[in-house]
Amino acid sequence: ADINLQEVHDTLVSIAFEAGRMIMAANTSEITTGEKMNSADIVTETDQAVERLVSTRVQTKYPSYLFVGEETYVAGTTRITSAPTFIVDPIDGTTNFVHGFPHACISLGFAVDRSPSVGVVYNPFLDVLYTGIRGRGSYMQRNASLEQGQGQGPKQKLPLTGSPPLGNLSTTLVAVEWGSQRDGENFEVKARTFRKLTASQENGGSMVHSLRSLGSAALNICATAAGQVDLYWEGGCYAWDVAAGWCILSEAGGKMVSGSPPDREGEGWDPALDSRVYLAVRGASSGQDEIVREFW
Ligand code: LIP
């Protein structure tokens, strides 16, 4: 049967606003946190409640589509198949949420044939909405939850500013994250990568303009799609961190490379098999492949 991506998009946008109200209603002084892998890997009751809300809403409307969510994912069991699948992070940026740093979002992705086909990323703290539909472009909107004529911003097509050439790595602003894994080879890869990016060229580095670490994978990808940063690299994302943003980024002419060194590009990933390393590059008339090569 034909899948109506516009309808899925509209449904996800209204769920995102509802989830956003739930996140904003949570009293940060009363947040109870739990730990997953370690003390830097936080989950709150709000993450779980928002995921229940989203899964109930989408499964009521689309009972035949699959649902994968961060809080109900089972390592080694949950797979992304070619079936139409909602891929959801109820709060991306949980650490920010817990600390009251206003940079967290709800990330609602929808994949068909493992290809990110709809993306809705909503930051309720700033009331900024990012959306994308495969083949139909991606957009950013401020004051998104307000009514038209009551202060709602226009839908701005992404990327926000034209795309000047990317140049080389040394002229880029790069978003990175430490993530929650703080030991073993994964930690070493991150530390080495950050050092290499920031060290002067005499010290064997690329000396990029700077690094930014804002605490939400999905918002980092959206910032890349918007052209506010040139690149975003992370050595430990899951499907729900990237699914929605991936669609928004590709529709903005950007590129997502997964694997290190890049083992595949574009479509078709498996959270159980991937190295979970992702490099997002903003849209540009040229130079994306060169930047990817230079990065690795
Ligand atoms: C987290 C991101 C964070 C990233 C982690 C993780 P959570 O998601 O927001 O920026 O570094 O890898 O994905 O746990 O807040 O949903």
pLDDT for position 27: 73
Q: Could you tell me which residues are annotated as the binding site for Mg(2+)?
A: 70, 89, 91-92, 241
As a whole number of angstroms, the distance between CA 219 and CA 263 comes to 24
pLDDT at position 266 is 46
**From the candidate CATH numbers 1.20.58.110, 3.40.50.11540, 3.40.190.80, 3.50.50.60, the one assigned to the domain spanning 169-295:** 3.40.190.80
* SS3 at position 123: strand
Place of tokens 């909107």: 141
Pocket test for ligand 1, best of 38, 41, 54, 92 (most atoms within 8 A of CB): 92
State the closest ligand 1 atom to the C-alpha of 90, by its place in the atom list counted from 1. 16
- 11 backbone φψ class: left, alpha, beta (φ>0; ψ -120 to 50): alpha
Burial class (CB in 10 A: 0-12, 13-18, 19+), 50: buried
Q: What local confidence, expressed as pLDDT, does residue 274 receive?
A: 60
Strands 85-92 and 66-69: parallel
One DSSP character per residue, 165-212 reads ----GGG-EEEE---S--SHHHHHHHHHHHHHHHS-GGGT----SEEE
What's the 217 CA to ligand 1 centre distance in angstroms?
6
DSSP H or E stretch at residue 246: helix 239-251
Residue nearest ligand 1's atom 8 by CA: 92
Q: Residues with Cβ within 6 A of ligand 1?
A: 70, 89, 91-94, 177, 179, 215-217, 234, 236-237, 241
The pLDDT assigned to 252 comes to 97
Name the nearest CA neighbour of 214 among 95, 125, 91, 103: 103
Q: Is the pTM of this model over 0.90?
A: yes
Structure tokens at 32: 């109870």
Low-confidence ranges of the chain (pLDDT < 70): 1, 29, 259-275
Q: Which pLDDT value is given to residue 167?
A: 87
Euclidean distance between CA atoms 165 and 160, whole angstroms? 15
- Evaluate whether 280 touches 255 at the Cβ level (below 8 Å): yes
Under 8 Å between Cβ of 179 and 278: no
HEC-encoded secondary structure of 68-105:
EEHHHCCCCCCCCCCCCEEEEEEEECHHHHHHCCCCCE
Complex ipTM: 0.95
* CA–CA gap between residue 60 and residue 187 (Å, rounded): 41
Q: Which atom of ligand 1 has the smallest separation from the CA of 217?
A: 10
Retrieve residue 216's tokens. Answer: 């939400």
Catalytic residues: 70, 89, 91-92, 94, 241
Closest C-alpha to 228, from 278, 154, 172: 172
Q: Which CATH superfamily is domain 5-157 in?
A: Fructose-1,6-Bisphosphatase, subunit A, domain 1 (3.30.540.10)
* Amino acid 267: pLDDT: 45
Same fold, 5-157 and 169-295: no
Contacts of 169 (CB under 8 A, 6+ apart): 197, 206, 208, 291, 294, 295
Structural domain spans, the chain:
5-157, 169-295
Reading the block at residue 140, the tokens are: 């950013």
Q: How many CB atoms lie within 10 A of CB 210?
A: 11
Assigned token pair, 122 = 């909503």
Which residues are registered as beta bridge partners of 86?
67, 110
